[in-house]
Amino acid sequence: MTTAPAAPPIRAKQRLGDRVFSKAALIAGILILVTLAAVAAFLLAQSFPALTAEPGSFKGDAENFWQYVAPFAFGTVWAAFLALLMAIPVALGIALFISHFAPRRIAQGLGYVVDLLAAVPSVVFGLWGITVLAPGVQPLWTTLSEWFGWFPLFAPPVSGTGRTILTVAVVLAVMVLPIITALCREVFLQTPVLHEEAALALGATRWEMIKLAVIPFGTPGIISASMLGLGRALGETMVVAMVLSPAAVIKFAVLQSQNPNTIAGNIALNFPEAHGVGVNVLIATGLILFVITLAVNMLARWIVDRRKEFSGAN
């Protein structure tokens, strides 16, 4: 007995608009990869002379490129870490207030203010930091050092101008705050209503409902928003160049007059007068910043993917 051959599967015919949109999305994705590869190739090609440069090509006492870039890489990561340490809790609180506590009118108005704050140019934040914040917090930094000077972070001597790495971190925290807040707000608003109602029906309070339903659902979004804010803090130039009193040092003290500079701030301050191999040295430090940012984003994606796998397993 012979069986009839199986009929070929029927494929839905795509419309012209669907085909155009699919091709456009594919081209856009490829364009991003090509652009990223071109930037990486440019940085690698221009950085090679700096990696083999003579000791006299570097400012300060550095004998090679790695000794030169180490303080700036440390300052970049340290300032961004301090900024996120202050910004994330405040951003989560504002986002939860807008999404689950505030009346509708207040939530809408506060949301507009947060979005407007994200549009303020970084030079404005730099001017505010150097003219208002630094002189205003200098007495606070002095008091903080007098009370907690035994702790290495707040060790004296305190800067007399207030232009310290902690002041820069405060300004950076204000800058990344609207980005993290806006993204977390949208993620919290996407929490399934049935999950929230189920928690409340079981007798949970408002805060317990947020802890059991909203926070777990929004954790991948919180991580993504934090990494986006970290990227803004890592690459910030004007605030660091305007507010900080930089030095090529590696130290964790946050209130002293000698503070580690960042890669972006060092490029902004030294590029106008750089020439010859000095330009290649600055481009090479930009390559290090590129690698740091790429590593941070890859780590964030790995954390989010692992959490999704863990959630799916449970």
**Average pLDDT per block of 10 residues along the chain, 314 residues long:** 57 73 90 91 87 76 82 89 92 90 84 84 87 88 87 84 88 90 89 86 85 87 86 81 77 83 84 82 89 84 70 53
- Amino acid found at 314: N
Show me where the domains of the chain are located: 19-309
Q: What is the dihedral of CA 125, 130, 131, 134, to 10 degrees?
A: 110
* Sign of the CA dihedral running 234, 240, 244, 247: positive
d(CA 52, CA 69): 14
Q: Which fold has domain 19-309?
A: MetI-like fold (1.10.3720)
- 252 with 214: CB under 8 angstroms? no
> 188-195 long-range CB contacts below 8 Å, 24 or more apart?
188/95, 188/96, 188/99, 188/100, 188/214, 188/218, 189/99, 190/217, 190/218, 191/217, 191/218, 192/217
How high is the pLDDT of residue 163?
A: 86
Distance CA 255, CA 308 (A): 40
Strand partners, 246: 259
Residue 192, C-beta contacts closer than 8 angstroms, at least 6 positions apart: 213, 217
pTM of the model: 0.84
* Helix, strand or coil, per DSSP, at residue 199: helix
- Give the per-residue pLDDT at 91: 92
The predicted structure's pLDDT at residue 221: 85
pLDDT value at position 253?
Answer: 84
